[in-house]
Amino acid sequence: MITPASPSTRERLTSLLRRDTVGGLLMLLAAVTALLWANLGTAGYEAVSTFVIGPMDVAHWASSGVLTIFFFLAGLELKQEFTDGSLAEPRKALVPIAAAVGGIIVPALIYLVINGAHPAGDHRGWAVPMATDIAFVMAILAIVGRGLPRALRAFLLTLAIVDDLGAILVIAVAFTADLSPVWLLAALACFVLWWLLQYRRRGAWYVFLPLGVLAWWCLHASGVHATIAGVVLGLLTRARRDPGEAAAPVQRWQHRWQPISSGLAVPVFALFAAGVTLEPELLGQLFSDPVALGVAAGFMLGKPIGITLTAWLTTRLTGAALDPSLHWRHVLAGGLLAGVGFTVAIFVTELAFGGGPEQDIAKTAVLLTSACAAVLGGGLLALMGRTGTATAGSGVRQTR
């Protein structure tokens, strides 16, 4: 007979799932499992992925349903940062914010140039190399971060948050299907009610949970990608603590939903999104197909160049400066690490190509370049930490 886990066991498990390293490892394990399953048991993987439950099959439930929890956490984190975090004072966050914008624009331009110059180019994937996987980047930084300045984590966290916001806006604007005004108005009504309940300090979890599900369904029916509901609801959640309140809803819900996101939502998405059949023909195309080359160059070159160059120009053209403990080599290595574009990049790949061989090529390129960026960027940062070049005691201030 199976007995339920004790409260202390559940608390230890949820505490473990809140760690960046654990979430990143579970995501990686799910991706490896997907690749093995898709290549060793293709028929079984395809049968499970296409099994229909209600209005969608399992694969779409993974990308449009449970992944909404991940985007809800992203919305909560954005709200926290806008309220009293790294984005509360834009002037202090100007350099990483500008770096994030450069890390969004330059990879997209590189992809478009490569595919525009090739007769078989496909412009639809321009948004794929824009996205940085905040979960993986923070997990890798947690592993290699010993000896690195604390300011580097704040820099990369701000950069990744703004990067996520840019990806969310692209998803909302560029990948919206035919719009249904009635359902969109219904979704807006749900959002307004959510905000009103937050503003009036009314409602409990048994009110907000069905309201959130209803908002998700209305947005799904409207033609806007349903995961945007998670972001909007997160941004509309109250982030300031009332007198006598232990924590504001943003902090409480981050604490409650983070283990569900890292332990269930993101691994389930990775399991049904990363299952690419690695046929010899597909692997051979990675070195000649313009889509694969555009994705790879966007991540491996566009991210570090765009982030470092834009950050450097910002310090030269404005009064902003890097934190005194940071060196430009940290920014460059961090920019290379930002080329890890796993979760959102694969998600955008599915939205951009909607199936077909180009989607598999783009997904494979995302997986391989993310692995390369993780090894190179993480390796450089680990080396800096070990050799002492990344210590905060160097005393060298950045020139403006």
The CATH number for 77's domain is 1.20.1530.10
Mean of pLDDT values over 170-180? 78
Is the residue at 289 inside a domain? yes
More confident residue, 224 or 363: 363
Instruction: Grade residue 394 by pLDDT with cuts at 50, 70 and 90.
Output: very low
Mean of pLDDT values over 372-384? 92
Tell me how far CA of residue 192 lies from CA of 14, 47, 210, 228, in angstroms: 31, 40, 15, 15
Is the residue at 234 inside a domain? yes
Mean of pLDDT values over 224-234? 88
What pLDDT digit, counting tens, does each position of 77-88 carry? Answer: 888 888 887 677
Count Cα neighbours of 344 within 13 Å in the Cβ-side half-sphere.
31
Please tell me the predicted confidence (pLDDT) of residue 4: 58
Mean of pLDDT values over 25-51? 90
Q: How many residues does the chain have?
A: 400
Please tell me the predicted confidence (pLDDT) of residue 388: 62
Q: Which residues of 13-33 are buried (b: 16+ CB within 10 A; e: fewer)?
A: ebeebebbebbbbbbbebbee
Is the residue at 171 inside a domain? yes
Instruction: Grade residue 399 by pLDDT with cuts at 50, 70 and 90.
Output: very low
What pLDDT digit, counting tens, does each position of 91-141 carry? Answer: 778 999 999 999 999 999 999 999 999 888 899 999 999 988 877 787 788
What pLDDT digit, counting tens, does each position of 196-222 carry? Answer: 999 999 888 899 999 999 999 999 998
Is the residue at 215 inside a domain? no
Please tell me the predicted confidence (pLDDT) of residue 7: 62
Is the residue at 36 inside a domain? yes
Is the residue at 4 inside a domain? no
Report d(CA 78, CA 29) in Å as an integer. 27
If we measure between CA atoms, which residue out of 165, 167, 148 comes closest to residue 75?
A: 165
What mean pLDDT is reported for the chain?
86
Tell me how far CA of residue 89 lies from CA of 151, 193, 288, 300, 399, in angstroms: 16, 29, 45, 31, 21
Is the residue at 218 inside a domain? no
| Kind and range of the H or E run holding 53 | strand 52-53
Is the residue at 220 inside a domain? no
Report d(CA 261, CA 278) in Å as an integer. 28
Range of the domain at 284: 18-176+225-389
Find the helix packing angle between 266-273 and 342-353, rounded to 10°.
Answer: 50
Instruction: Grade residue 316 by pLDDT with cuts at 50, 70 and 90.
Output: very high
Tell me how far CA of residue 169 lies from CA of 35, 152, 164, 227, 357, in angstroms: 30, 26, 9, 12, 26
Number of domains in the chain: 1
